[in-house]
Amino acid sequence: MKAAVGASNDARRLCSNPWLGYAIPKDKGAARVQDWPVYVINMDSNETRLARVGAELDGAGVAWTRLPAVNGRALSEGELARVYDVRANRRYARHDLVAPEIGCYLSHIKAAEWLLESGAEAAVVLEDDLRITGDFAATLSALQDDLQKRPAAWDMVKLFSFKPVRLDQAQAIGLGFTLGRPDRVPSTTLGYVLTRAGAEKILAKVPPIFRPVDEDHKHFWEFDLRVAMIAPQTIAIGAQETSDGTVGDSRKKMAQKDPIWIRLWRFGRYRVNYRLHLARARAKGL
């Protein structure tokens, strides 16, 4: 069953997953900052969030397209089993996934598929709880110029981090922005730019999934992803109100089942792997 929805050797299934029950709208490539589509992931029930983020983006002069999020709570046990690798989760992840986390990851997979179908060289993927704190259009323009100059320099650029991040091999890319490799990949998917190459690398591996999407981004070496980050940030976390709760709400309701020593071992293993692969990337000049 996994072969039907997992990675394959062809050009991917490009939004043809019948079990997800969606199709790309005809105007999927219409909302762009210059040549890039801007996708806002939004649950059907969260109209307030959509109105708020839409007003933010409209005010910033950024055209956008709503990407209907996958509601993990609405997936059947069979649908969850087709995309969630429980065995790999128990072996490699820090905690069990809850249904909203699975839906969140599938929504980001959907964004990668939309990008490949659009024909664009990159896409901007946003979640609907952001607020704009600076010249966001300039951020995207600077990144587009950089990608044109250095088409193989990065696969993904993180646009936001909760905590300060040191950038290695940082360089100015114009319009007052700096781009570099973060010393740690932020634990958030509030906003990022994804290239076609990056989308292809991700879709070659998932589904099935066994970690949250932001944690998979942190394990960049498993996808051979070149992850960069931009400074200064021009987006931040906005209002968190939802009609049906957040991933964090569901996470808090699930008690940790593993002993503390197992959780510490998993965390330590990740930190060692992260530092090792970051050092290798630096040595290669990536």
Of 17-26, 94-103, 238-247, the range with the lowest mean pLDDT is 17-26
Neighbours of 253 (CB within 10 A): 9
Looking at residue 284, its pLDDT comes to 65
Nearest to 241 by CA among 40, 41, 38, 50: 50
Paired tokens of 154: 């990065």
Decide: helix, strand or coil at residue 172. strand
Task: Please report, rounded to a whole number, the percentage of residues in the chain having pLDDT higher than 70.
Answer: 79
Domain that holds residue 20: 2-283
Residue 8 above 70 pLDDT? no
Lowest average pLDDT, out of 69-78, 104-113, 235-244, goes to 235-244
Q: Are 39 and 111 in contact, with CB atoms under 8 Å apart?
A: yes
The Cα 14–Cα 113 span in angstroms is 5
Total number of domains in the chain: 1
Q: Report the pLDDT averaged over residues 61-70.
A: 97
The predicted pLDDT at position 189 comes to 98
Q: Summarize pLDDT for 133-161 with one digit per residue, the tens.
A: 999 999 999 999 999 999 999 999 999 99
Strand 122-127 to 36-42 pairing: parallel
| CATH code of the domain covering residue 210 | 3.90.550
